Amino acid sequence: MIRIKDIAKEANVSEGTVDRVLHNRGGVSSKTEAKIRKILERRNYSINPVASALAMKNKYNVAVLIPEYEDTDLFWKSPYLGILKASDEVKNIGIHVNYFKFNQYDPASYLKSFEALLETEPAAVIFAPMFLNETKKITTQLEAISIPYMFLNIDIEGFNNLTYIGQDSYTSGYIAGKLMLLGMEKDSKILIIQSREHAGDNTAISKRIQGFNSFFKDNHTEIESITLKIEDLNNTSKTEQNIKDCLASNDSISGIFIPSSRTAVIVDCLNGNNGFKIIGFDNTPQNVERLKHDDISFLISQKPFEQGYESIRLMSDYLLKSKVPNDKVYLPIDILIKENVVYNDMNQLMFENAISED
């Protein structure tokens, strides 16, 4: 009988890579997937439904629902890779993970993916509560059928989630304020750019802004902040003009705070830094590149790879060991500068290298 181990050896990849291809879980290059599928076809390999059913008898299906990522906004790739790594590790102890994605700007896509998720009859759900009203509908359905759920990356109060895992958004904003004040003149102004269409639904963004403003209030500074809301970052020319108009009417602005992962987009609309002290969030490839060239002063990382990884580990412990996590599981707040950014998120880099080699 042909085993996964035999297929992996012939393809010169790990068993986990073959398993991901068999169950369409992603995380495998198209070239490697094609090679594996060719071997599977040649060896007439197929999943035995009876054996599969027996293997799953005492196992738990965990469903994950997070936004899809794209080349222009790679933030959600990191949690996905963390989830993928943890999924490979827990599959042998009775946890099977199904991954569902949605458009982070489309509430209908969020609900549609959740309905597909429910069809897998999950024992537990991990998701990013991106839209408030739709999240209420989702949690109502989950609670009605007694399915435990965990919030990932975005923390919303007033729900019965098992836990929240992610960054302390308020504190990260407070830290950003402290960094912004360093070396700033008394009569300076700060521009806060909200760069997301549904910023009001993303409490992580609003809490960062609250923390940022609280720092200046607590320290009785005379520095004034101005908020510019941009609805559609994909409209580059309009975004560039909006920022240009705002800066023209406020010539004392010396710092720019961007409480989202789209910092590089804003920098590009400025045609470079132009002498502004810019603080943003997340070490996406685009942001890191601008940081290395001094177009961004500081990036604050929320450890997204670890968020995804730890969410699976915590839920596995809950299902298998009845181990209840803390109400909040906060990850470290890393302050990144061009000199240390290459050392950040080494776990993700090693995992990406491993699966790319497969």
Domains of the chain with bracketed CATH? 58-167+304-332 (3.40.50.2300), 169-301 (3.40.50.2300)
Full-prediction pTM beyond 0.85?
A: no
**What are 14-41's pLDDT values in tens digits?**
777 887 787 666 667 888 888 888 888 8
In this prediction, what percent of the chain has a pLDDT beyond 70? 92
Mean model confidence pLDDT for the chain? 88
| Residues 268-305 pLDDT 10s | 998 765 789 999 999 999 999 999 999 999 999 999 99
Higher-scoring residue by pLDDT: 28, 259? 259
140: left (phi over 0), alpha (psi -120 to 50) or beta: alpha
Task: Calculate the CA 237 to chain-centre distance.
Answer: 27
Residue 31 CA to residue 34 CA, distance in Å, equals 5
- Would you say residue 56 has pLDDT above 70? no
Can you give the three-state secondary structure of 267-303, one letter per residue?
HHHCCCCCCCEEEEECCCHHHHHHHHCCCCCEEEECC
